[in-house]
Structure 1
Amino acid sequence: MNLLNKFYNQDTIQHQFLNRDIKLWREELEGIEEEIHFFKNFLEVPQNRTNQELSSEKLLLKLTEKRLENANFLSLLSNFSIKLEGINECDNIQCETFYFNDFVNFKIQIESFLSQYRKLKKNLFLKINSHFKK
């Protein structure tokens, strides 16, 4: 796949990368939504409720917290995607810088959330794996 055409100008290339990040984040957040649903269902199965490692209320609370954060980021991402379209109206570097700074700040926030979620997911997988090894 050739993402960049040699005839694109610098602004078009930057916009393509911004749009690509937004698309990837949306896919990631939608996947997280399904994973959390799966994990909660798995942990609430009666035979898993008898295992202390898997029946932790703290674990269910963390999943609920991440589900809410994820839903919030999905909403923020939709709004941010619309807001970012304003960059197309920019006719000077100051205007573009405003949008790029917003993008960088949003990127830091969402990637921090994604990193935290990956750590939680790894922890869940380790607990589930140790449960099956017993």
Structure 2
Amino acid sequence: MKTENDKIFKHDSDVDIAHKINTMELDNWINHLTYIEKELNTLIGIYAVKLNEKLDGDRILNRLVKKQSENKTLLAALNGYAVKRTKIIECDDMQCDMVYITEHESYRRSYLYHLDKYRRIKDEFFKEVHEEFSLLKPV
């Protein structure tokens, strides 16, 4: 949700600009994790209904389900953090600002780690699906 406070102006301080950029970044993370949630639902549905009997057990399915749970947890944490960030305007010293900036960096690392692990699972899913369907092609 964009507000007037999200716009960057020439008179904004470096700290204000950092907070605004971090807020935009956080919005992007939340949107991306929401999309990943939908994508995981689709991948789990495809795997569970169509591929489970053709592929090697439930290993990938279990990893997708686990990642779905982790995605929900991180998404809830980021939504809570977004609400907490509305109090940034109350900061009146650099120490307060640094608490928010440090917390944001921590969430950034968590998001990027989650994204990396998700991509690896998704790549493994598609590799296994590709191999299965490549074997089904007539010679």
The two structures have a TM-score, normalised by structure 2, of: 0.83
Answer yes or no: is the 8 Å Cα contact 2:33–2:75 preserved in 1. Answer: yes
Higher relative contact order (CA closer than 8 Å, sequence separation 6+) = 2
TM alignment of 1:94-113, pairs within 5 A: 94-113=95-114
| Cα distance per residue 1:8-31 (max 9 Å; x no partner) | 332331122111111111111111
How is 1:41-120 mapped onto 2 (pairs within 5 angstroms)? 41-46=45-50, 48-53=51-56, 56-120=57-121
Q: Distance in 2 between matches of 1:127 and 1:109?
A: 27
Percent identity of paired positions between Structure 1 and Structure 2: 23
Residue 51 of structure 1 aligns to which amino acid in structure 2? K
RMSD of Structure 2 on Structure 1 (CA):
1.7
AA aligned to 2:13 is: N
Question: In the TM superposition, what whole-angstrom CA distance separates every residue of 1:85-132 from its partner, at most 9, and x where no partner exists?
Answer: 222111111111111111111211121111111111111111112222
| Residue-pair matches, total | 129
Which aligned segments of 4 or more residues in structure 1 are displaced greater than 6 angstroms? none
User: What is the alpha-carbon distance in structure 2 between the residues aligned to residue 131 and residue 8 of structure 1?
Assistant: 56
> 1:6 deviation in Å?
3.5
Q: Deviations over 1:70-92 (max 9, x none)?
A: 11111101110111222211111
Q: TM-score, normalised by structure 1?
A: 0.86
Among residues 15, 23, 32, which one is paired with 1:11 in the alignment? 15
SS of the residue corresponding to residue 55 of structure 2 reads: coil
Residue type of the alignment partner of 1:100: I
Structure 1's unaligned 5+ residue stretches are: none
Determine if the alignment matches structure 1 residue 38 to structure 2 residue 42: yes
Quote the offset at 1:32 in angstroms. Answer: 0.9
* Counterparts of 1:52 and 1:66, CA distance in 2: 19
